Structure 1
Amino acid sequence: HRADLILLDIEMPRMDGYQFASHVRNDEKLKDVPIVMITSRSGEKHRAKAIELGVNDYLSKPYQESQLIASVEALLGRTL
């Protein structure tokens, strides 16, 4: 099965979120799966790096539930 959407943090064990996003974008089977990065890193340099890697949306913690729902609905093209 293929994921409809990936929710991703930058800080993860073994492989950071940037590396994971890069692997996803370079995988023929997964490259079109939308990625929403949710992280405590709110700096513009972190956001820019994520967008450069192909992340579709970037939410800084703490985020509003309505922000996440709106992002997911927009990326999936349907209402949750």
Structure 2
Amino acid sequence: MGKYVGGFVSICYIVLFLQITSWVTRNISDFMHVTLMPRTPKTVFRIVALVTLCTQKLFTIIVRSASEPLPSVGNGIIGYNPTDT
């Protein structure tokens, strides 16, 4: 594929996934509104679902980055080596 055709296909995929995400979010909020809390506005469910998803993704990024050792914190700067006797 060329540069322009590839860009068009990428935009189509982005639009597709945004539509699927909004469809799933709406279905979940409608279900919760009808079955669990009929007095609560649907917008509240949508906002809570999106905030929960974003928080989960952010937490995953933080945990994965914390598992990697930082290059500035180590034996060279601090001068501590637990294997020294």
| TM-score (normalised: structure 1) | 0.26
**Larger strand share, 1 or 2:** 1
Q: Which has the higher helix share?
A: 2
Q: Which has the higher contact order (CA 8 A, sep 6+)?
A: 1
**TM-score, reference length from structure 2:** 0.25
